[in-house]
Structure 1
Amino acid sequence: MNMSFESRSMIGILKVDENRIDASVAIAFKDRFRDLVSGSSGDVILDLARVDFIDSSGLGAIVAARKLLGGDRKLELAGLTPAVDKVMTLTRMHTVFPIHADAEAAAAARIDPAQAST
């Protein structure tokens, strides 16, 4: 599972460099997520700009990733493509995860909450 992590002061940005998060990669996604964020502290922004498809297993993997962070850290989503945004809306996950237009908007919202975008 191709993913990268960038630490920025009090947040981390985890970029998914795959076009799908589905049953075939859900376990790899969770494992890679855990490996990348384990040495960091603070909240995490999950950049999904390259992800064009997500199924129920992929959605479950994202929820599991949120749980991996523990109760004191938040997982926010950024860069949802139309198909992924539709899944988040249909499953009402948009009420669980803060969603931003892109990773830069998410990072800017941490500095200036007035810039938050959903």
Structure 2
Amino acid sequence: MDLSSQVNGDTLVVTVNEPRIDASVAIQFKDRMREETEQVAGRVVLDLGKVDFIDSSGLGAIVAAMKQLGAQHRLELSDLNENVDKVFRLTRMDTVFRIHTSVGEALAQ
């Protein structure tokens, strides 16, 4: 699972550099998110701009990543394409996560 991250102020932006988050990579995603967010001090924005497909296992992995962060940190999402956005809305996970249209918008808040 290819993830990259950069710190911008008190926000860690983690970018998923893969087209899919599904059952075949869900465990790797959770492990890589744990590695990327170990030293996080503030909030985390997960950039899903390159992700074209997410299934229930991928959704579960993102929820698990949120839980790994604990209550003192927020996991927010950005750059969801139409298909990925639809999954979050159909499962009502858009009420759990704060969703931004872009990383820039997320950083401005």
Question: Which bracket does the TM-score occupy, shorter chain normalised?
Answer: over 0.9
Cα deviation per residue 1:71-92 (whole Å; 9 max; x = unaligned)? Answer: 0100000000100000000000
Measure, in 2, the Cα distance between the counterparts of 1:40 and 1:74.
Answer: 10
Cα deviation per residue 1:77-117 (whole Å; 9 max; x = unaligned)? Answer: 000010000000000000000000011110012xxxxxxxx
Q: Comparing 73-82 with 35-44, which one deviates more in the overlay?
A: 35-44
Residue aligning to 1:114: none
Residue aligning to 1:28: 28
1:1-118 alignment runs, 5 A limit: 1-109=1-109
Measure, in 2, the Cα distance between the counterparts of 1:104 and 1:9.
Answer: 13
Measure, in 2, the Cα distance between the counterparts of 1:99 and 1:39.
Answer: 23
RMSD over aligned Cα atoms: 0.6
What fraction of aligned residue pairs are identical, expressed as a percent?
54
Give the letter for the 1:13 counterpart: V
Q: Which runs of 5+ in 2 are unaligned?
A: none
> Under a length normalisation based on structure 2, what TM-score does the superposition of the two structures give?
0.98
> Under a length normalisation based on structure 1, what TM-score does the superposition of the two structures give?
0.91
Q: 2:66 is paired with a residue of what secondary structure?
A: helix
Q: 1:4 is paired with a residue of what secondary structure?
A: strand
Q: Segments of 4+ in structure 1 off by > 4 A? A: none
Measure, in 2, the Cα distance between the counterparts of 1:21 and 1:41.
Answer: 26
Per-residue deviation, 1:40: 2.1
Q: Comparing 4-13 with 22-31, which one deviates more in the overlay?
A: 4-13
Measure, in 2, the Cα distance between the counterparts of 1:88 and 1:78.
Answer: 12
Give the letter for the 2:64 counterpart: A
